[in-house]
Structure formats: C-alpha cells, structure tokens
Structure 1
Amino acid sequence: MFKTTVTPRFGDIDGLKHANNIAIAIWFEQARNPIFRLFTPDLKLDYDNWKLIMARAEYDYVGEMFYGEDVEIHTYIVRIGNSSFTIGQEAWQNGKMGAKGQTVIVHYDFIEKRSKSIPDQIKESLKEHFVDAE
C-alpha cells in the first residue's frame, strides 16, 4: 500500500466548507503516481513515455473533509488482469475516512492504439501492493 499526504488548498473547499468532489479526484490522481512509476521507473512521467490509460473511475463520498488538516490517501491494488488492473483508494482525515474509490487502468500502446499485456515483472510489483477489498 502506498500512502500520500495531501494538504487541502483553500480552493479545494466548497461553499459548505467541505472538500469539493473534484478535489478528491485530483488528490487520488496525485496519489496514483507511485503506481504509474512501476511502468516507467527510469523515465519522467511525461506524455512521450506514458503507457497507461484510465478506463473507469468511481468515487464514494462517505464523510466530511475540511480545510486546515492534512489528508492521507491510501492507494493499493484490488485486481490484476491481463492488460488492466484496478486501483483502490481511500482518503483519511483525523482518523476518519472521507472518501473511497476505484480506478481501472489499462496498459496501453498509444502508437498501435490498443491495450497490451502487463509484463510479468510489473504484475509482480503490483501484487506487492494488493489488498483484498472484499
């Protein structure tokens, strides 16, 4: 499991003084970077070397999160397929979960415009961060 600390910005907060729905998606995206690096460990995470595409994202807002206190994002793997995998994430503030979600990522060849199998070595690295979400 990866843990990333996010400090909510003033602009991440909505009129009800809660973390905005869009802020959660942005925080979760930022916290996926360690997983992205498994696919390009020696290169910058840039468009010329990108190997992944998002196929689905879903978020459940289960509690309130506020400005002024750090949020810890837990990022882990819940499913590994042939060419895709599912990332689970949770946002915690002051010991309480504020959001959770899952994202399906596909290993993708942008030149050939098709998915491709995840190399065995990367699958093994993904397995190190597997958490049974059931």
Structure 2
Amino acid sequence: MTNKYFQHTFKPRFSDTDALGHINNTMVPVWFEGARDDIFKWFTPDLDLTKWRLILAKIDVTFHGQMYYEYDMEVKTCIGRIGGSSFDVFQELWQQGELKASGTAVMVHFNYETQKTEKIPTDIVGKMTEYLKN
C-alpha cells in the first residue's frame, strides 16, 4: 500500500456471513466496489449514472485470512497502475489489524455514446498519481 490511500470502515451485516460463521467470500468484491466511490468521483463528481465514464474490465481477489461478523472491516484503496485509457485500482481489506484480502480492479475510461475507450484526462492522471501504489 502507498502512504496516501482512501479509507472506508464499516461493520459487516449478519447477512454477509456464511454457514460456517465466516464472512462469505462473495462479499469482498462487493465491498471493494463500494469503496471505489472516491475514485468514481474523479470521473463523475456527482455519481450521475447518465454521465458515467468507467467500465470494469477485470477483478481479482486474493484471500489472506478468515473474516468474522463481529469486527469492523477497513478497506484501503489506492491506484496500482495508470495507463492511457485504463488503470488499476488496488485494494486491501483489513480486520483487527490484519490483512484479510487484497485485490485489483482494472477500470477503463469509456465513452458510452461512441462505445470506445478514451484517454484518461490529464487532471485525473494528476489526482491518480497522488494515490499511486509504491
């Protein structure tokens, strides 16, 4: 992780658990997506879906440990890579001071009207650079 990252802390819901009493592994990608709002706002400040400029091209998640209902979760989000029209969002999920999961989402700057990718604007690249993973 980098020195500068977005942080999102929340309490898991009872419905996030599985039959074994752990957090269900399907929840991690959902939580990661929810913690990307700060990055989404760089492209669509009001989060108006009629002006949306991003598509998700790929996600991957690595699990490092079991997670439990009764403890708060913390998602740390930074930029893993900056390309011409795409970038990687790197995220870590922590519970009780331990890394429990990490993952990367490949996002693409996309024009839905032309159905083509677009270069990431220079001002947004500048913001991304501040959060670039070491």
**1:32 corresponds to which residue?**
36
**1:79 corresponds to which residue?**
81
TM-score (norm 1): 0.94
| Contact 1:6-1:27 within 8 A present in 2 as well | no
* Total equivalences in the alignment: 130
Displacement over 4 Å in runs of 4+: none
Structure 2: runs of 5 or more not aligned: none
**1:91 corresponds to which residue?**
93
Q: Give yes or no for the alignment of 1:118 onto 2:120.
A: yes
**Amino acid of the residue matched to residue 128 of structure 1?**
E
* Identity across the alignment (%): 42
Once the two structures are superposed, residues 9-37 of structure 1 have per-residue CA deviations (whole angstroms, 9 ceiling, x without a partner) of 00101111111111111110000000000
Equivalent positions of 1:59-78 (< 5 A) are 59-78=61-80
Measured after TM superposition, the shift of residue 83 of structure 1 is 0.2
**1:100 corresponds to which residue?**
102
CA RMSD of aligned residues (A): 0.8
Structure 1: runs of 5 or more not aligned: none
**2:26 corresponds to which residue?**
22
TM-score (norm 2): 0.94
